[in-house]
Amino acid sequence: MQKPPEWRGSTVQVCGLWPFAIGAGTPMTGVPLGRHLHTGASLCCDPITWFTRAHLISNPSAFILGKPGLGKSTIVRRWAVGLAAYGVIPMFLGDVKAEHIDVVRALGGQVIPLGRNRGSINVLDPGGALAMLQRLHGEHRRELADIIHSRRLNVVCALITIVRGSPPTDRESTILDRALHVLDEHTGGRVPVMGDLLQVLRDHPQEVRTVALDRGSLDRYREITENLEVSLIALSGSGRFGNLFSRATTEQIQLDRPVVFDISAIDEGDVDVRAAALLACWDAGFCLVDAAHILAEELGVRPRHYFVVLDELWQALRSGTGMVDRVDAVTRLNRSFGVGQVLISHTMSDLLSLPTEMDRMKAQGFVERSGMVVCGGLPAKEMPLLDTAVTLSDREQALLESWQDPPAWDARRGMEAEPPGRGKFLIKIGGRPGIPFHLDLTEAERHINDTNKLWHLPGQRV
């Protein structure tokens, strides 16, 4: 490119001169997304590249907000395809609408179905990490064993919270902690399932009785653990959860392929079951990522990079009091190197409609801690809520409001026109001015972004 002419002058000679007639160009590092709405400049962006190469964000994460039907999932699929070309492995940890299956299959990935009589996931062997534990030695083995134990305890407490609608007591958490330590000794190297944990509780080993403070009375022990036993029974094949958590994992995640957990078979009305399945999938994926990085250190090889997508965050947060802490613990990586994370929800109201003020503040932190926030069309009432986490100018707020307007009627074609906000998003990084853009789909990827297949007439082309 030809170098532009340069002139130099003193502050007296060029006082008041502002030669920059237009703003700076959009970043060109990362996955191509589309074009700037005002300048037409190409925009390249993704949370991993902007963290590792462009150094534009402080951590490789993103939060996507927007009303349904405007393209939030399309952005995620574009990122998945682009990052897969860079060698990053996409992981869709819980697909409630079966909308990410096509992209995973197109990338040669793995589809794991879950649901009643469809597939099970064993939360006591998160991500199949127990098999990887056998390949480690010394400090690495102890480190992964601690991670597995803490994740087991957290996800079991989270599932109990969903079963009851309230978290287990401090005493019950301590009992579960000790029972999980005893569990591996009782299974003799076999991978345990939820029924084994229930049996440890019923066998009342001395280590568990000691932390239960039964004062030497077996009757008192049974009274103390009765509610905990009822909750574990509900997770061991009885009740509305069926065999979802009571059996060995039907199909383990493969480390070297894209993966999606398909939980679309769980009915939308089974809110608690769906929330529990989401948490179990998230825990399995994150534990496996932890294990993969520790194993890479043990073998002295370069660790793989992963792109983790967590959709429908609001469903998990609303499933019981205190779930914000459980979700935060599940999705927090001990080793964040090489892992990009995306959280998706509809509105800030989803996060701030939790029952306690403390939970609402912690949920808002999911947005505040994200490296970038991508906003689609949002109603006007959302702007004060969003502004508490992301600084928005009046013009940016007006832009987001205009994108959520309903489509107009196209009299010429006799149908509704495309919604004005479909494919339009605003990227916000801290307090910097946002980047408004339109996501442009190529013909090669339209088939993986058609989420309305069931509405097409036989033989109708999209």
* Closest C-alpha among 321, 162, 153, 149 to residue 231: 162
pLDDT > 90 fraction of the chain, expressed in percent and rounded: 46
With respect to residue 2, please indicate whether it lies within any of the assigned structural domains: no
Residues 136-191 pLDDT 10s = 999 999 999 999 999 999 999 989 998 888 889 999 999 999 999 999 888 777 89
Is residue 80 within a helix (H) or strand (E), and if so which, with residue range? helix 72-85
pLDDT of residue 447: 79
Residue 273 lies in a domain: yes
Contact 144, 291 (CB under 8 A): yes
- % of the chain surpassing 70 pLDDT: 90
Q: Taking a C-beta distance cutoff of 8 angstroms, is the pair 265, 113 a contact?
A: yes
Mean pLDDT of the region 309-330 = 77
Residue 427 lies in a domain: yes
- The answer to whether position 119 is within a domain reads yes
Identify whether 81 is part of a domain.
yes
pLDDT, average across residues 211-215:
94
Provide the 10 A C-beta neighbour count for residue 413.
8
Write the burial class of residue 324 (CB in 10 Å: 0-12 exposed, 13-18 middle, 19+ buried): buried
**CA quadruple 359, 363, 364, 369: dihedral sign:** positive
Cα 71 to Cα 24, 224, 377: the distances in Å are: 27, 50, 10
Q: Which residue has the tokens 């935060």?
A: 328
Q: Is residue 137 part of a domain?
A: yes
Among 254, 272, 289, 260, residue whose Cα is nearest residue 151? 289
Query: Based on C-alpha coordinates, what's the Rg of the chain?
Result: 25
What is the rounded average pLDDT of the residues 245-269? 91
Q: Pick from 309, 397, 348, 293: which is nearest to 104 by CA?
A: 309
Q: Which helix (H) or strand (E) holds 53?
A: none
Picking from 377, 362, 302, the residue whose alpha carbon sits closest to that of residue 87 is 302
pLDDT tier at 110, thresholds 50, 70, 90: very high
Question: Which pLDDT value is given to residue 362?
Answer: 81
> Quick one: pLDDT at residue 241?
86
What CA–CA distance (Å, rounded) separates 302 from 280? 28
Instruction: Specify the number of domains making up the chain.
Output: 1
CA–CA dist 5, 2 (Å, integer) = 9
Whether 34 and 438 have beta carbons less than 8 Å apart is answered as yes
Q: Are 390 and 407 a contacting pair, CB within 8 Å?
A: no
What pLDDT, on a 0 to 100 scale, did the predictor assign at position 322?
Answer: 67
Asked, for residue 14, whether it belongs to a domain, the answer is no
Question: Is residue 15 in some structural domain?
Answer: no
Query: Which residue range(s) make up the domain with 45?
Result: 32-450
Q: Which helix (H) or strand (E) holds 195?
A: helix 194-203
3-class SS of residue 65: strand
pLDDT of residue 86: 92
- Residue 28 dihedral angles phi and psi, to the nearest 5°: -120, 30
CATH number of domain containing 107: 3.40.50.300
Residue 12's pLDDT is 82
pLDDT (tens digit per residue) in 336-393: 567 899 999 888 888 777 777 887 888 888 888 888 999 999 999 989 888 888 889 9
pTM of the model: 0.86
User: 422's torsion region: left (phi>0), alpha (psi -120 to 50) or beta?
Assistant: beta
